[in-house]
Structure 1
């Protein structure tokens, strides 16, 4: 059976192309079409590469700008917190300045800071908060200052 199949198939011989003007023109058109197709693919590849690089650059640029923006936002928040703190401090200083116009406040401040006393007044010195922590709040270390201290100007 195999012999029959082999014999029934005709042997293929190479076909020689006809060399006429028509055939040559057709072959030339096919070569031109293939060359155009190849150039088209090359142009599309170059254009695609340019688009891809541009897209990558734009994405990188946006990411970098977002990082800078986040850093500036943190700086702004820190500056606003500092501004709020300074405004509060300024308000406290204005109150202190207003208090310094009051003669009673000045007298009280002088008595407190410079241990000055009025006539008949006894001054007791209490330990600072730091001393309280060291002494565990013992009241025995309080000193009583005897006698009267008078301001030389009174």
Structure 2
């Protein structure tokens, strides 16, 4: 049926054809712009998503490292407190005397030390508790 219809070539039809072609060209330009804009927007979203994932991973690694460092710091603080306490005890004459009596069985002149079986320093009671 297309072959049977003839196009009339006059000023009106040529103007309309030109308008249609201009409209088609405008639509192509608009579609290209939208496509380019969408592509750029998609690229930006992908880049930002990648950056977000990388930053999240870094934060997780840093959090684990910080937790390990805090635990190590706490452990060292506890060790420092224990060492200071031990140093203070070693500067105390009464403590040194107690250690010398309990561990090494030292005594003053004229003293006799008796160890009973139920004493905590006795080797028999230590082996029976285990």
Task: Give the TM-score normalised by the residue count of structure 2.
Answer: 0.74
Question: In the alignment, which of 66, 74, 83 is matched to residue 64 of structure 2?
Answer: 74
Q: Distance in 2 between matches of 1:75 and 1:43?
A: 47
Matched, 1:64 2:61: no
Give the equivalent residue in structure 2 for 1:96. Answer: 86
Q: Higher RCO, 1 or 2 (CA under 8 Å, sep at least 6)?
A: 1
Q: Distance in 1 between matches of 2:33 and 2:129?
A: 92
Give the deviation of 1:107 after TM superposition. Answer: 3.3
Q: Distance in 1 between matches of 2:70 and 2:105?
A: 42
**Higher normalized helix content (fraction of residues):** 2
Q: Could you list the runs of 5+ residues in structure 1 that have no partner in the other structure? A: 1-10, 140-154
Give the deviation of 1:122 after TM superposition. Answer: 5.8
Rg larger for: 1
Deviations 1:22-77 (A, max 9, x none): 32222112111101101211111111011011111111211221121122112222
Q: How many residues align?
A: 122
Query: Contact 2:105–2:113 at 8 Å: present in 1 too?
Result: no
Q: Distance in 1 between matches of 2:39 and 2:62?
A: 34
Give the equivalent residue in structure 1 for 2:113. Answer: 121
Task: Give the TM-score normalised by the residue count of structure 1.
Answer: 0.64
